[in-house]
C-alpha cells in the first residue's frame, strides 16, 4: 500500500503517521507550514511524484498556508484522498467541514475523535502505535498522572492545576522539544491517567488519543463526564469523574485491585478492537482499497 501523508508539522499529526507505519510499514510523509505562504503547487507535485494509492491529509482549521478547495479537489484526481480531523466535534471546525463537503474536496471525511458528527462521513478513534507503549520492567511509581498541554485560564487548566496542587495528580507538561517517546515513557510509569474530554473551544466533548494510549500502556483511565466514551467502551473499562473533587476522591480512595481490574479491561478492549491495522483498515475499505 503506497500512501502519501500530507500534514501540518506538529507532534499529533506525526503520531498518526507513526500509527500507520506500525501497521503498514514505511510511508511517505510530507509536511507544510500552515502559517506560512500558500504553496498549492507543492501538494500536487508530491502526488504526481509519489503516485500513491491513497492520500491522507491532516490540516489546520483556518490558516493562510492551507491549500485552496480547488487544489484539494484536483488532488482527488490523482489519488483517493482522506481528510483526518481530530476536532470534528468542535464547533469552529464545522464551517470548514461543510466547505469540504460542498466542494467535494475529499473522497472521505473522517473524524478521529470518536464524535459521531453529521459533518463527516466516518468516525473512528485516534490510532496509536503500540510499540511506544510496550516494555516490561517499568516501575509504576506514579499513582495518577497527566501528560500533555495544560493550557491557561480554562476549565481544563483549572481542573488539572487543582488536582496537581491538592488531588494527588502528577503532571508532566509538554515542552516544544519533547518527542512522543517522552510522553509514552511517562505514561508507562502511571497506574492511572487523567483525561479531559472537552474540545479546545470547550463547547463539546470528544475522545482523545490518550484513551487508546492508556489501553496500550496498561493503566487505568479517569475520563471526564460528558465524554462519548460510553459509545465505544463498556463502563467497566474506565472511571468517570465530574469535577476536581470527584477526581481527587477516585485517585485517593480507589483500591489497587479495582485500578488493576479496570486497567486490564481497557487493555483487553483496545488490543482486541482498536489496533492501527483495524482502524485504518476500516478507512481503506470505505474508499474501496
Burial string for 262-289 (b: 16+ CB within 10 Å, else e) reads: bbebbbebbeeebbbeebbeebbeebee
Grid cell locating 124: 473512528
Q: Which residue has the cell 466533548?
A: 205
| Residue 278 CB partners (closer than 8 Å, separation 6+) | none
At 191, which helix (H) or strand (E)? strand 190-195
Cα–Cα distance between 31 and 10 in angstroms, integer? 9
Cα–Cα distance between 243 and 245 in angstroms, integer? 6
> What pLDDT score was predicted for residue 151?
73
Q: Inform me whether the pLDDT recorded for 137 exceeds 60.
A: no
> What pLDDT score was predicted for residue 216?
97
| Residue 269 CB partners (closer than 8 Å, separation 6+) | 215, 233, 234, 237
As a whole number, mean pLDDT of residues 117-135 equals 93
Q: To 5 degrees, how large is the angle CA 99–CA 50–CA 22?
A: 85
> What pLDDT score was predicted for residue 155?
79
Q: Inform me whether the pLDDT recorded for 97 exceeds 80.
A: yes
> What pLDDT score was predicted for residue 10?
83
Grid cell locating 196: 479531559
pTM: 0.94
As a whole number, mean pLDDT of residues 3-12 equals 92
Q: What is the set of domains in the chain, with CATH numbers?
A: 3-127+275-286 (3.40.50.2300), 130-273 (3.40.50.2000)
> What pLDDT score was predicted for residue 110?
98
As a whole number, mean pLDDT of residues 259-279 equals 98
Angle (deg, nearest 10), helices 276-286 and 11-24: 90
Contact predicate 129/115, CB 8 Å: no
Please write the tens of the pLDDT for every residue from 41-86.
999 999 999 999 999 999 999 899 999 999 999 999 999 999 999 9
> What pLDDT score was predicted for residue 14?
92
As a whole number, mean pLDDT of residues 123-145 equals 89
Contact predicate 162/53, CB 8 Å: no
As a whole number, mean pLDDT of residues 104-117 equals 95
Please write the tens of the pLDDT for every residue from 162-206.
999 999 999 998 877 788 899 999 999 999 999 999 888 888 999
> What pLDDT score was predicted for residue 135?
67
**What does the chain come to in residues?**
289
As a whole number, mean pLDDT of residues 263-269 equals 98
Please write the tens of the pLDDT for every residue from 226-237.
999 999 999 999
Quote the percentage of the chain above a pLDDT of 90. Answer: 85
Q: Which residue has the cell 510511508?
A: 27
Amino acid at each position: 500500500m503506497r500512501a502519501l501523508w500530507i500534514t501540518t508539522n506538529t507532534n499529533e499529526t506525526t503520531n498518526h503517521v507513526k500509527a500507520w507505519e506500525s501497521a503498514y510499514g514505511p510511508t511517505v510523509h510530507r509536511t507544510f507550514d500552515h502559517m506560512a505562504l500558500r504553496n498549492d503547487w507543492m501538494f500536487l507535485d508530491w502526488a504526481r511524484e509519489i503516485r500513491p494509492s491513497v492520500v491522507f491529509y491532516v490540516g489546520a482549521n483556518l490558516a493562510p498556508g492551507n491549500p485552496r478547495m480547488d487544489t484539494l479537489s484536483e488532488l482527488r484526481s490523482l489519488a483517493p484522498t482522506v481528510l483526518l480531523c481530530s476536532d470534528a466535534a468542535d464547533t469552529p471546525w464545522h464551517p470548514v467541514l461543510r466547505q469540504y463537503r460542498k466542494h467535494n474536496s475529499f473522497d472521505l471525511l473522517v473524524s478521529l475523535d470518536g464524535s459521531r458528527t453529521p459533518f463527516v462521513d466516518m468516525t473512528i478513534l485516534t490510532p496509536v502505535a503500540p510499540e511506544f507503549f510496550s516494555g516490561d520492567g517499568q516501575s509504576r511509581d506514579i499513582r495518577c498522572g497527566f501528560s500533555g498541554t495544560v493550557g491557561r485560564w480554562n476549565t481544563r487548566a483549572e481542573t488539572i492545576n487543582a488536582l496537581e496542587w491538592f488531588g494527588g495528580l502528577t503532571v508532566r507538561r509538554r515542552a516544544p522539544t519533547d518527542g512522543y517517546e517522552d510522553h509514552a515513557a511517562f505514561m508507562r510509569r502511571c497506574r492511572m491517567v487523567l483525561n479531559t474530554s472537552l474540545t479546545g473551544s470547550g463547547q463539546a466533548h470528544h475522545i482523545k488519543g490518550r484513551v487508546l494510549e492508556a489501553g496500550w500502556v496498561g493503566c487505568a483511565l479517569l475520563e471526564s463526564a460528558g465524554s462519548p466514551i460510553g459509545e465505544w467502551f463498556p463502563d467497566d473499562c474506565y472511571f468517570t469523574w465530574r469535577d476536581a473533587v470527584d477526581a481527587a476522591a477516585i485517585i485517593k480512595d480507589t483500591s489497587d485491585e479495582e485500578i488493576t481490574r479496570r486497567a486490564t479491561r481497557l487493555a483487553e478492549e483496545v488490543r482486541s478492537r482498536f489496533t492501527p491495522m483495524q482502524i485504518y483498515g476500516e478507512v481503506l475499505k470505505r474508499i474501496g482499497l
